[in-house]
């Protein structure tokens, strides 16, 4: 792509993605006040977070890759079961993955 075409691509994609974000914020609030929508919204939150865990743990672009992230997530789960604070959970997982990779695995 020429610089001009690249700039156009960058700006058009930015406008489109901002419009998508704003559209969500402009959904009328009374649509969301219904009891069933509230309940569904709570479940959507759980599904989004669970899905992000999966994608971040085994996703690598458009492939499933099992590497040091998997045992690191297991370490995080144990820490959570032991009621460790959020920051400790995150640091332990990073340390586990970094340590395994330093040892040449994953």
Pairwise CA distance, residues 30 & 54, whole Å? 33
Task: Quote the least distance from Cβ 94 to other proteins, whole Å.
Answer: 4
CA torsion, ordered 71, 77, 79, 83, to nearest 10 deg: 180
By rule CB under 8 A, what string of x and - marks binding of each residue 42-61 to other proteins? xxxxxxxxxxxxxxxxxx-x
Task: Quote the least distance from Cβ 82 to other proteins, whole Å.
Answer: 12
Task: Quote the least distance from Cβ 39 to other proteins, whole Å.
Answer: 6
> Could you say whether residue 22 binds other proteins (CB under 8 A)?
yes
First to last CA, the chain: 36
> Could you say whether residue 62 binds other proteins (CB under 8 A)?
yes
CA torsion, ordered 47, 51, 54, 56, to nearest 10 deg: -130
Window 67 to 106, contacts with other proteins (CB under 8 A):
68-69, 72-73, 75-77, 80, 86-87, 89-99, 101-102
């Amino acid at each position: 792509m020429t610089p001009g075409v690249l700039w156009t691509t960058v700006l058009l994609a930015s406008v489109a993605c901002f419009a998508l974000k704003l559209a969500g914020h402009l959904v009328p609030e009374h649509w969301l006040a219904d009891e069933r929508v509230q309940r569904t919204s709570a479940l959507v939150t759980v599904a989004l977070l669970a899905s992000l865990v999966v994608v971040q743990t085994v996703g690598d672009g458009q492939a499933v890759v099992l590497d040091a992230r998997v045992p690191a997530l297991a370490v995080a789960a144990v820490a959570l079961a032991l009621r460790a604070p959020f920051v400790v959970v995150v640091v332990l997982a990073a340390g586990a993955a970094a340590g395994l990779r330093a040892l040449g695995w994953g």
